[in-house]
Amino acid sequence: MKFRKKRRGVRNTEKYKHVVVKTAKIKGLPRVNHRGKDLPGRRTEETCRCPQKCFDGLSEDDKSGLIEQINSFGTKDEQDIYLQSMIELFTPIHLKAGQ
């Protein structure tokens, strides 16, 4: 028995709700999440909360340029790879007891 193929329209995947939310999150834009909660866009805070105080040596223009560069990537994976390449590794100094 042969089944007839159904005619289907073109998929507009870029208009799907989860895709719209995901792309807005990647681009750092204000968005409404899946639960309907309004979320602000990505921005830099006044103070850095990390112990190394990374943002203290950067001007506001440098901070905004960095955020724009991160927002320009197409996927979250590209953002993560870029940020991982910017991280400097160091070996922690372990002191032995009694020294």
pLDDT tens-digit map of 14-61: 888 889 999 999 998 999 988 889 999 887 776 667 777 777 788 888
Q: Residue 56's Cα: distance from chain center in Å?
A: 21
pLDDT at 78 over 90: yes
**What pLDDT, on the 0 to 100 scale, is given for residue 99?**
58
| pTM as predicted | 0.62
**What pLDDT, on the 0 to 100 scale, is given for residue 81?**
93
Torsional class of 28: left (φ above 0), alpha (ψ -120 to 50), beta (otherwise): left
pLDDT at 98 over 70: no
How far apart, in whole angstroms, are the C-alpha atoms of residue 53 and residue 57?
8
